[in-house]
């Protein structure tokens, strides 16, 4: 069976974990954590970076920092992972779901203005498949209404956006806050892991306190204060050095990982571009002007649910695991209940593009080490499409 994902190891993970253990400091905020954080700050021009135990945790930190509470509204696409909304639900906020674009699953930036009310506090653009949302449009709406932008950049490591000003900026460096994931299904991994990026300096000091259980412990260890104590809310959001050591082994090889993933992605694109997909009503991913492809994911879009289900079944018969993706959050069991007590102040509307991606999108295997098996995936796909 060819799996959909296999976690890739660079080979240095166990050596760095050994070093972390030998160093005798295996709690968080140590040497490997600092190395990883500085790597991101330097390489991508991010503001303050704080490693977390997951992207979900980083989003929870962002939700606390944004100050949302009961009665406040947060605009989130419905076609995303649960955590993009859940982090704000935990603060008691009301979720206002946005539709996806017609040409790709990212948030429909044209719809944003009509979703903003006096209660809106935050917009969460999710860079689906590592492909940039229209950040000029998102930031313009946010600026007009004084909103905080939290980029869900879980899938978006090493991807970029060029807006109208011609500046090429890394995803995760544009919003006031951003969250990354190093879950084993992402491009660079630590098993479970994530990172909060604080681009708006207003939030920098408080972010560190929330990260360290509501204490100013980090300042104490830097010698900035002579004792530390309980100064705010927070939790234990920081990963152990064992996890950071693992992540460092990945970051050292980020360029190779990305080069290999991009080769696999380009091979998919080249192959499928050579088939008459239009005749089958199947379409390929679109990377809009200004966005880049970080080869997080390769997907096909089928004309309807039945044909997608048929394709997945035929691929499985041929030994290849191709998988669909999100179920719309707005029709989830949890949200149905939650929205009875947390009603958005904008009328509920249909989200036809979100529903369509939920029914028609299928992802193909993509991981470092797939190369020897990619021919088999392509052959299985060609046969499954023709059948």
Judged by the rule CB under 6 A, the positions of this chain that interact with ligand PLP are 54-56, 80-81, 83-84, 126, 152, 154-155, 181, 183, 194
Comparison of 94 and 181: residue with beta carbon closer to ligand PLP: 181
Comparison of 150 and 154: residue with beta carbon closer to ligand PLP: 154
Comparison of 198 and 378: residue with beta carbon closer to ligand PLP: 198
Shortest distance, position 244 Cβ to ligand PLP, whole Å: 15
Shortest distance, position 182 Cβ to ligand PLP, whole Å: 7
Comparison of 129 and 378: residue with beta carbon closer to ligand PLP: 129
Shortest distance, position 57 Cβ to ligand PLP, whole Å: 7
Shortest distance, position 58 Cβ to ligand PLP, whole Å: 8
Shortest distance, position 340 Cβ to ligand PLP, whole Å: 25
Shortest distance, position 172 Cβ to ligand PLP, whole Å: 12
Comparison of 178 and 377: residue with beta carbon closer to ligand PLP: 178
Comparison of 54 and 94: residue with beta carbon closer to ligand PLP: 54
Comparison of 19 and 236: residue with beta carbon closer to ligand PLP: 236
Measured between its terminal Cα atoms, the distance across the chain in Å is: 20
Do 246 and 191 touch, CB atoms closer than 8 A?
Answer: yes
Shortest distance, position 62 Cβ to ligand PLP, whole Å: 11
């Amino acid at each position: 069976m060819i799996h959909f994902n296999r976690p890739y190891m660079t080979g240095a993970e166990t050596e760095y974990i050994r070093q972390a253990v030998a160093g005798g400091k295996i709690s968080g905020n140590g040497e490997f954590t600092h190395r990883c954080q500085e790597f991101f700050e330097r390489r991508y021009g991010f503001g303050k970076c704080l490693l977390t135990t997951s992207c979900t945790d980083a989003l929870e930190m962002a939700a606390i920092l944004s100050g949302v509470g009961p009665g406040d509204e947060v605009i989130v696409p419905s076609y995303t992972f649960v955590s993009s909304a859940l982090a704000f639900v935990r603060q008691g906020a009301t979720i206002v779901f946005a539709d996806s674009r017609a040409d790709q699953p990212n948030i429909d930036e044209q719809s944003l203005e009509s979703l903003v009310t006096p209660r809106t506090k935050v917009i969460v653009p999710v860079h689906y498949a590592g492909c940039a949302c229209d950040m000029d449009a998102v930031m313009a709406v946010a600026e007009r209404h004084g909103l905080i932008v939290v980029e869900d950049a879980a899938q978006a490591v090493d991807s970029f956006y060029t807006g109208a000003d011609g500046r090429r900026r890394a995803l995760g460096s544009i919003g006031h806050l951003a969250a990354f994931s190093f879950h084993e299904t992402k491009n660079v991994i630590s098993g479970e892991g994530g990172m909060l990026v604080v681009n708006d300096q207003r939030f920098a000091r408080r972010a560190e306190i929330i990260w360290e259980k509501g204490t100013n412990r980090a300042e104490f260890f830097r010698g900035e204060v002579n004792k530390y104590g309980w100064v705010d809310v927070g939790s234990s959001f920081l990963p152990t050095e064992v996890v950071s050591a693992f992540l460092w082994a990945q970051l050292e090889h980020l360029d190779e990982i990305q080069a290999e993933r991009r080769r696999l992605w380009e091979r998919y694109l080249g192959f499928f571009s050579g088939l008459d997909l239009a005749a089958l009503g199947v379409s390929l991913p679109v990377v809009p002007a200004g966005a880049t492809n970080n080869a997080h994911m390769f997907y096909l879009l089928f004309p309807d649910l039945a044909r997608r289900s048929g394709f997945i079944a035929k691929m499985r018969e041929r030994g290849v695991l191709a998988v669909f993706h999100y179920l719309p959050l707005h029709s989830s069991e949890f949200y149905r209940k939650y929205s009875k007590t947390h009603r958005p102040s904008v009328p509920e509307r249909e989200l036809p593009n979100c529903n369509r991606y939920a029914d028609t999108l299928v992802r193909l295997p993509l991981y470092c080490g797939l190369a020897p098996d990619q021919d088999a995936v392509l052959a299985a796909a060609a046969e499954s499409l023709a059948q």
